[in-house]
A and B are shown apart, each in its own frame.
Chain A
Amino acid sequence: DVKVTQSSRYLVKRTGEKVFLECVQDMDHENMFWYRQDPGLGLRLIYFSYDVKMKEKGDIPEGYSVSREKKERFSLILESASTNQTSMYLCASSLVGRETQYFGPGTRLLVL
């Protein structure tokens, strides 16, 4: 079974804090993705990585950065958290060129 894990299920942070969200997959997938999910807006792609140290901006990269130092791990960084970054964050992985993405359970982030 493909397993995608995320470091936290719930996080509460203060405005201006630097926030790290970590994602690990155990299926040797090349592709990894970070989405945020908001009511009525669905899943929006923040960043995408197709290989170690490679990254590509998604639809809403502003205010975020990512790091992929190892194939199995993809980190999302909020450099200075703001209240409008309160959201559900979902990580996913897939094989390159394959459409099926496998998702982690999500991290619900509240920025106060």
Chain B
Amino acid sequence: QKEVEQDPGPLSVPEGAIVSLNCTYSNSAFQYFMWYRQYSRKGPELLMYTYSSGNKEDGRFTAQVDKSSKYISLFIRDSQPSDSATYLCATPTDSWGKLQFGAGTQVVVTP
């Protein structure tokens, strides 16, 4: 079983809709969670990170962690065509900085 599971999609939504992305993880010791965004033919870039349980908001983006169910979520409000990308969840697996990534979910926002 992979340590971080993520549905690869694709997820297609109309412009202005809320995008909901999810990952599950298996190791309850994971404390810190990240979302990376990857545009087509580019490398991933860090979008958001959050510690432990709770919410973190940054503009139209909200990241949530539910440690009791080992579930992390990313919500995109008022989605735009420019949000079309692959979104990857990730968590550190050691103190050196190695990350375990989910498979990535491809999001397509149609005008």
- CB < 8 Å: which of A45, A48, A104, A105 contacts B41? A105
Residue numbers in A under 8 Å from B97 (CB-CB): 31, 94-99, 101
Residues of A within 8 A of B17 (CB): none
- B43–A90 touching, CB < 8 Å: yes
CB of A99 within 8 A of CB of B44, answer: no
Q: Does A4 contact B (CB under 8 A)?
A: yes
Asked if B78 is at the interface of the complex by the 8 Å CB criterion, the answer is no
**Whole-angstrom CA separation of A48 from B104 in the bound complex:** 21
Q: In the complex, which of the residues B88, B92, B98 has the most CB atoms of chain A within 10 Å of its own CB atom? A: B98
Residues of A within 8 A of B101 (CB): 42-43
* C-alpha gap A97/B98 in the complex (Å): 9
Mask of B71-111 contacts with A, CB within 8 angstroms, 1/0: 00000000000000000100010011111011110000000
Q: In the complex the two chains form, is A42's CB within 8 Å of B96's CB? A: no
Asked if B54 CB lies within 8 Å of chain A CBs, one says no
The interface of chain B, by Cβ under 8 A from chain A, is 6, 8, 32, 34, 41-46, 49, 88, 92, 95-99, 101-104
